[in-house]
């Protein structure tokens, strides 16, 4: 087993643990910033080192297109390429398959490049090969993320194809210092989610992800589907919810046994002037902040962003200064890192329900 999780405390379904990999270890729950092209938008590796995220993501599809997996491999792999010594995870390209309307066959997927319009062919084996060249600590199998809503037959077909591709991905993977995670699909159908989880566990992976949720469905649809999946995942392997970053979503995921999550939301919100805070989401472009000398969030003043006033950040936003996006990105990522630390502490102290209610009050 190339990765394991030691569960140190539970509070209901919520878990606090430590994930150990060939590189080292990190505490959970863990929010993982997305660095699509080996860069988290508007910030650099020095910022990451001061923020201290447990894991940074990179996007297999975009990196295989630009600058290419061969080039990154010649540079010594992703870690050396962006000079980051912490953990990294690469996705498989599956979400790009979802978003680029590909032609899917048993062999793989064909779709047009977002860069030059040429055809791109991606099979489970090629996805594995590229991720091994990139050299992240955790790699994902290639999956099919069916759009929601979809007919039950379409969801079933997608998950069965994902299972067949998962078997091929496992057979193709042979990098000893890289863990590989399987992905559970099934839309918002709890029965399909349970079936997918059971079958994926039978194939056997180092960790397990829940994919194909947080793609537009309601929270009332998401939570039962998630619970049906996690009920069948082994307790001694990490559990990862793909593409989840809103605070209420995070506490609900942790409440249902999830350890890891990623999303572009905090960086995307930042580029549009929105900060996460103890007061909920703040649109810092709002005129009411024009003469507000207080920090972005008085209850959370991180050294990288807490020195700046709401008035100053608003000024940067309305004059289209890119520094605004950088400041808010640093704030949002630090804020989510603090939220995960608070979730961990609440699980350990048995007060997770109180924190969950607090987040609902702030963002509900």
Distance CA 65, CA 118 (A): 11
- The CATH architecture one would assign to domain 4-263 is Alpha-Beta Barrel (3.20)
pLDDT of 1 strictly over 80: no
According to the model, what pLDDT value does residue 334 have?
98
Distance CA 338, CA 322 (A): 25
List 91, 143, 259, 297, catalytic entry: 91
Domain boundaries, the chain: 4-263, 264-364
- What is the separation, in whole angstroms, between the first and last Cα of the chain? 40
**Is 262 one of the annotated active-site residues of the chain?**
yes
Distance CA 91, CA 80 (A): 18
CB atoms within 10 A of CB 139: 26
| Average pLDDT over all residues of the chain | 96
Tokens of 338: 């603090």
Asked if 139 and 169 touch (Cβ cutoff 8 Å), the reply is: no
Q: How confident is the model at residue 101 (pLDDT cuts 50, 70, 90)?
A: confident
User: Whose CA is closest to 263, among 239, 240, 243?
Assistant: 243
pLDDT of 25 strictly over 90: yes
- 157-206: pLDDT as tens digits: 999 999 999 999 999 999 999 999 999 999 999 999 999 999 999 999 99
Helix (H, G, I), strand (E, B) or coil at 335: helix
Q: How confident is the model at residue 256 (pLDDT cuts 50, 70, 90)?
A: very high
pLDDT of 97 strictly over 90: no
pTM: 0.97
Q: How confident is the model at residue 94 (pLDDT cuts 50, 70, 90)?
A: confident
Before 358, cis peptide (omega within 30)? no
Percentage with pLDDT > 90 across the chain? 95
List 11, 189, 206, 262, catalytic entry: 262
- 258-314: pLDDT as tens digits: 999 999 999 999 999 999 999 999 999 999 999 999 999 999 999 999 999 999 999
**Is 143 one of the annotated active-site residues of the chain?**
no
Contacts of 53 (CB under 8 A, 6+ apart): 30, 31, 32, 33, 86, 333, 337
Distance CA 355, CA 336 (A): 14
The neighbouring-strand residues paired with 103 are 110
User: Whose CA is closest to 122, among 155, 153, 91?
Assistant: 91
According to the model, what pLDDT value does residue 173 have?
98
Half-sphere exposure of 344 (CA within 13 A, CB side): 19
- CA 208 to chain CA mean position, Å: 13
- 105-132: pLDDT as tens digits: 999 999 999 999 999 999 999 999 999 9
- CA 204 to chain CA mean position, Å: 21
According to the model, what pLDDT value does residue 290 have?
98
pLDDT of 34 strictly over 90: yes
């Amino acid at each position: 087993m190339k990765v394991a999780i030691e569960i140190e405390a539970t509070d209901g379904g919520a878990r606090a643990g430590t994930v150990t990999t060939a590189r080292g270890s990190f505490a959970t729950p863990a929010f993982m910033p997305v660095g699509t092209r080996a860069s988290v938008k508007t910030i650099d590796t020095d910022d990451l080192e001061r923020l201290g995220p447990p894991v940074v993501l990179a996007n297999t599809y975009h990196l295989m297109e630009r600058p290419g997996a061969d080039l990154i491999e010649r540079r010594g792999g992703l870690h050396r390429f962006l000079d980051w010594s912490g953990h990294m995870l690469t996705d498989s390209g599956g979400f790009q398959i979802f978003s680029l309307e590909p032609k899917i066959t048993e062999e793989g997927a064909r779709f047009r490049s977002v860069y030059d319009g040429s055809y791109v062919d991606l099979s489970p084996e090629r996805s594995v090969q590229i991720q091994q060249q990139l050299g992240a600590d955790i790699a994902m199998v290639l999956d099919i993320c069916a759009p929601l809503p979809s007919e039950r037959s379409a969801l079933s077909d997608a998950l069965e194809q994902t299972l067949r591709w998962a078997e091929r991905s496992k057979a193709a993977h042979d990098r000893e210092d890289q863990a590989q995670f399987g992905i559970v699909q099934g839309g918002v159908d709890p029965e399909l989610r349970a079936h997918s989880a059971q079958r994926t566990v039978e194939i056997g992976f180092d960790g397990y992800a829940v994919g194909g949720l947080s793609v537009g469905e309601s929270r009332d649809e998401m939570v039962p589907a998630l619970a049906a999946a996690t009920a069948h995942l082994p307790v001694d392997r990490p559990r990862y919810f793909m593409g989840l970053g809103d605070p209420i979503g995070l506490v609900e995921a942790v409440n249902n046994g999830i350890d890891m999550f990623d999303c572009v939301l905090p960086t995307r919100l930042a580029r549009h002037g929105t900060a996460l805070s103890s007061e909920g989401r703040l649109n810092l472009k709002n005129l009411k902040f024009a003469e507000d000398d207080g920090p972005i969030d008085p209850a959370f003043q991180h050294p990288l962003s807490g020195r700046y006033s709401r008035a100053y950040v608003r000024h940067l936003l309305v004059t289209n200064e890119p520094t605004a996006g950088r400041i808010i990105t640093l704030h949002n990522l630090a804020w989510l890192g603090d939220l995960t630390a608070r979730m961990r502490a609440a699980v350990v102290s048995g007060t997770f329900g109180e924190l969950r209610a607090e987040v609902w009050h702030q963002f509900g």
